[in-house]
A and B are shown apart, each in its own frame.
Chain A
C-alpha cells in the first residue's frame, strides 16, 4: 500500500482564490509527522508546513494551512489568496518513527498547481 497518496496530478486556481491540495496517508504508528513541500521549476524542495500526529490544532504558516483529519488519515494543504508564484509541484510527505535515528520519510507523487492570472 502507498504510504502517501496524492490523487490530483494537476490543479488550476484563479489568482487570489483559495485552493486545497489533497493528501491521504497510511501508517500504523501513533507518532508521525506530516509535511508539505513546494518544488518550483528550479527544482529545489521548499519546506512549507508541518503537522505532528499529536497536535490538536491545525498547523498554519502564513497563507498555508494544513487541514488535519486524523480519523480519515488526511492532511490536505490549503493555500489562501493564491499568487502567480505559487505555481509549482507540491509534495505531501510523512515521517514515521520516534526520534531522529528511527525516522522514515515517504513522499507522495505530487500535485502540479497552476495559478491563472
Chain B
C-alpha cells in the first residue's frame, strides 16, 4: 500500500511570495490533515478535511493560508503572501474512517524556508 505522498520536499522562497504544497493521501482514507511543525515543536493542526468538506480550520491563518480538497482525494495548501514565521515543515496526514484508532499516517513533509 502506497503511503502519503507530498511535494515538493523542499522549498525556499522570499517573503511576500506565494507557495503551494500538494498532498495525496493513502487510497481510501477519507480524512486528511495539514499540520505545521516549527523547528523544535510538535505538529500544529492547520486544517482537517473529511472527504472534500472542512471539519476544522480553527488554527488556519485564513488571511494568508488556504487549502482545498476538491474531489475528496488529493489536497493543496497555499500560502500567499509568505512571512518569515511561516518557515516550518508542513506535514500532511491521512486516516481511515474505520477502526477504533483512526491513527494518522504522515507523509514525508515539505520543508519551507522563507527568506
Contact = CB atoms under 8 A, between A and B. Distances in A.
A107 B105 contact: no
Interface in B73-115: 89, 91, 93, 95-97, 100-109, 111
A18 interface: no
B56 interface: yes
Given A105-B33, A105-B104, A100 B95 contact: yes
Report the contact-size class of chain A (Cβ under 8 Å from the partner).
20 to 34
B30 interface: yes
Contacts of B97: 100
A43 B89 CA distance: 8
A109 interface: yes
B109 A35 contact: no
Contact of A44 (B55, B103, B104, B109): B109
Interface residues of B, number: 29
A87 B97 CA distance: 32
Contacts of A4: 42
B66 interface: no
Given A33-B101, A100-B30, A101-B50, A45 B42 contact: no
Given A100-B96, A107-B44, 8 more contacts: A37-B106, A43-B108, A47-B103, A52-B100, A100-B50, A100-B97, A102-B55, A103-B102
